[in-house]
Amino acid sequence: MAEVSLHKLNKKFDTTHVVKDVDLKIRDKEFMVFVGPSGCGKTTTLRMIAGLEAITSGEIRIDDTVVNEIPPMDRDIAMVFQNYALYPHMSVAGNMAFGLKMRKFEKAEIEKRINNAASILGIEGLLQRKPRQLSGGQRQRVALGRAIVRDPKVFLFDEPLSNLDAKLRVQMRVELKKLHERLAVTSVYVTHDQVEAMTLGDRVVVMKDGWVQQVGEPLELYNTPANRFVAGFIGSPAMNFADVTLVENGGSPVAEAPGLRIGLPGELATRARAKTGRKATLGIRPEDIHIATAADAPEHCFDADVEVVEQLGSEILLDMRVGAALMVASVEPTLRVRAHDKLKLALKPGRLHLFDAETEAAI
């Protein structure tokens, strides 16, 4: 049982303000992921939860205790670091035992917990080795084991997978997910990789420049991004953006740019009407663009010059010029297309996004 709540949390280093007014409640047993580009304040927030950074203003509670002044050793948390931070002079077993020894656990209990954690992680055979004799993936497991044996209130993860190669990263991601299901401990996970955020998180916090941009379940972020930043950050390949002007055309709102004229559907139209005559940013995901057929209404079609064709096997990415804008479309792998072809494409009107040009907030 552990909830972590952040209230009006701020952090300043000398003159730079790195975490700004973060308000957040992490529920019991929840897997919460902080994601954002480097320097967005996500790691600093995690380190404040850990007690490794002093809090400039605001409050952190674990359950009902305000922990602002409690040193890390007394917060009953465990943390997995990006570089694993294994104690190089201790064996794997010694690494896992350290936290328990510091808390004066009985020898038998320490041994029991180590064996238990080792069997969960499949590292029983490595207990007597030193960290330098382990591979990257094994070190990662030991770092996890060291957190597990502690049976803490909260797990903190600071980009734990970013030092692994791509294949191992995917494998460990799955294992982390299983592990969380099995242990059901409140977890806070920091990453710059939106795929990790989407796949691991029960909920995801997107941060930028110290501000929280949006908090929500992964699909919520994908389907209804709160602003242009979240829209561009979540999803791969990234969402296409085009600078447009909102105009009225025979009673219905249209987004217009050189070489592009897209009619806005239903609810989006209602919201756009209020901003007629203003500039805006149109957003459409590559996977929501396809080759136009007779079924597509002309107001959802546009012409594109293909510049590069990226054949990925499972799909084809087309890098195209649409009027003044550059866009990417993800199309069927069977399509015969070459660079410099001219294509007629269509988009799914229900998947259009519109952002205010100044505030960048979703319209």
Partner 1 sequence: MIEGALWRRWIFYNIPLILFVFVLLFPFYWMIVTTFRPDGELYRPWNAVNYMPFWTNNPTLEHILYLFEETRFARWMFNTMFIALVSTVISLFCGVLAGYALARLNFPYAGGLGTAIFITYLVPQTLLFIPLAEIIRNFRLGDSPWALILTYPTFLIPFCTWLMMGYFKAIPKELEECARIDGASRWKAMVYIIIPVAVPGILSSGIIAFTLSWNEFIYALVFLSSPEQKTVPVGVTSELIRGDVFFWGPLMAGALLGSIPVAIVYSFFVEHYVSGLTGSVKG
Partner 2 sequence: MAVTALSAAESKRLSPRLRKLEDERWLALALLTPTAVLLGLFIAYPFFEGVLLSLSNARVGHPGEFVGLKNFYKIWNDSIFHTTVWNTFWYTGVTTVFKLALGLWLAILLNRHFRGKAIIRAFILLPFIIPTVLSTFAWKWMFDPTFSVINWTLFQLGLITTRINWLGDPDLAMTSIIVINIWRGVPFFAITLLAGLQTISPELHEAAAIDGARPWQRFWHVTWPLLMPVTLVVVLFSVIQTFADFQLVYVMTGGGPANATHLFATYAYQLGIGTGLLSEGAAISLAMFPFLFVIVVVQLLYIRRVETR
Binding residues for partner 1 restricted to 19-48, rule: CB under 8 A: none
Q: Locate 62 and state its tokens.
A: 């674990």
Per rule CB under 8 A, is residue 150 in the interface with partner 1? yes
Exactly one of 56, 82, 116, 163 binds partner 1 (CB under 8 A); that residue is 82
Q: How far is the CB of 70 from partner 2 (least distance, A)?
A: 8
CB 188, CB 155: distance < 8 Å = yes
Residues that bind partner 2 (CB under 8 A): 71, 73-74, 76, 102-105, 109, 150-152
Residue 88 near which of partner 2, partner 1, none (CB within 5-8 Å, type-dependent) = partner 1
Q: Locate 159 and state its tokens.
A: 């980009």
Pairing outcome for strands 31-35 and 186-191: parallel
Per rule CB under 8 A, is residue 81 in the interface with partner 1? yes
Residue 109 near which of partner 1, partner 2, none (CB within 5-8 Å, type-dependent) = partner 2
CB atoms near residue 87 (< 10 Å): 12
Give DSSP secondary structure letters for 71-127.
-GGGS-EEEE-TT----TTS-HHHHHHHHHHHTT--HHHHHHHHHHHHHHHT-GGGT
Radius of gyration in angstroms for the set of CA atoms belonging to the chain, rounded to a whole number: 25
Q: How far is the CB of 74 from partner 2 (least distance, A)?
A: 6
Per rule CB under 8 A, is residue 56 in the interface with partner 1? no
Q: How far is the CB of 300 from partner 2 (least distance, A)?
A: 55
Closer by beta carbon to partner 1, 78 or else 345: 78
d(CA 25, CA 34): 13
Per rule CB under 8 A, is residue 72 in the interface with partner 1? yes
Give DSSP secondary structure letters for 9-72.
EEEEETTEEEEEEEEEEEPTT-EEEEE-STTSSHHHHHHHHHTSS--SEEEEEETTEE-TTS-G
Exactly one of 11, 113, 146, 173 binds partner 1 (CB under 8 A); that residue is 146
Q: Which residue stretch of 49-57, 223-231, 277-285, 313-321 sits at the interface with partner 1 (rule: CB under 8 A)?
A: 49-57
Binding stretches for partner 1 (CB under 8 A) = 50-52, 71-75, 77-79, 81-83, 85, 87-89, 98-99, 102-103, 146, 150, 156
